[in-house]
Amino acid sequence: MDLQKIKDDTKIIIEDIIDRSGIKAGQLFVLGLSSSEVNGGLIGKASSAEIGEAVVGVIYETLKKRDIYLAVQGCEHINRALLLEREAAKKFAYEEVSVIPQLHAGGAGQVAAYKLFNEPVEVEQITAVAGLDIGDTAIGQHVKHVQIPLRPLIHELGGAHVTALKSRPKLIGGERAVYK
């Protein structure tokens, strides 16, 4: 696996999604990452700490430069809990839960984020404005309604299918309503 290509492609993908999602400073972005899928395997079966570090490192630094908070979704073995920095958890009033991510209980993305984040904490659920799904990890439960799919410029990262979501306010009011 060419880690430099993974990093380069990740940079293109995250910048594209940030630009097209409309996410702003101070908002929350969710990442779902299967390093196994990037590695060419089945989700949960070929985890790679190196891939996790490469992908999360690029995404974290890119978002941080724009003052956007990152939450990294864990795997099913920790009930898809999310790792984020304590500052973000406090800002959004998320309740902390207790688990330390491991390669096969949380995943490579969370393990990498745990090393990178300033005061990492786990929470059970969030409501992000936008998100990136690398490897069909099902991030939709963590993105606010109404969700709108985005197709990144690059559709695959290594062996993983890549999709994204942005969100918009609900349109309410019926036929007499006027929308922006």
Tens of pLDDT, residue by residue over 106-133, are: 899 999 999 999 999 999 999 999 999 9
Question: Residue 101: is it exposed, middle or buried by C-beta count within 10 angstroms (0-12/13-18/19+)?
Answer: buried
Q: For residue 44, give the 3-state DSSP assignment.
A: coil
* pLDDT given at position 78: 86
How far is Cα 92 from Cα 103, in angstroms, rounded to an integer?
27
Residue 138 lies inside a defined structural domain of this protein: yes
Whether 1 has a pLDDT exceeding 80, the answer reads no
Measured at the CA of 116, the angle between CA 145 and CA 26, to 5 degrees, comes to 40
Q: CATH code at 43?
A: 3.40.50.10360
Distance (Å, whole) CA 11 – CA 144: 24
- Summarize the confidence of residues 152-167 as an average pLDDT: 97
Residue 174 lies in a domain: no
CA distance 64 to 20: 17
The number of domains in the chain is: 1
Q: Look up the domain containing 147 and give its range.
A: 3-168
Q: Is residue 179 included in any domain, yes or no?
A: no
Q: Does residue 13 form part of some domain?
A: yes
What is the reported pTM? 0.94
Query: Is 180 inside any structural domain?
Result: no
Angle between helix axes 49-65 and 3-21 (nearest 10 degrees) is 40
In this prediction, residue 42 carries a pLDDT of 77
Report yes or no on 152 lying in a domain.
yes
Q: What is the mean pLDDT of the chain?
A: 95
Residue 165 is predicted with a pLDDT of: 98
Q: Classify residue 39 by its DSSP letter.
A: T
Question: Is the distance from CB of 101 to CB of 115 less than 8 angstroms?
Answer: no
Residue 169 pLDDT more than 80?
Answer: yes
pLDDT in tens, 88-97: 999 999 999 9
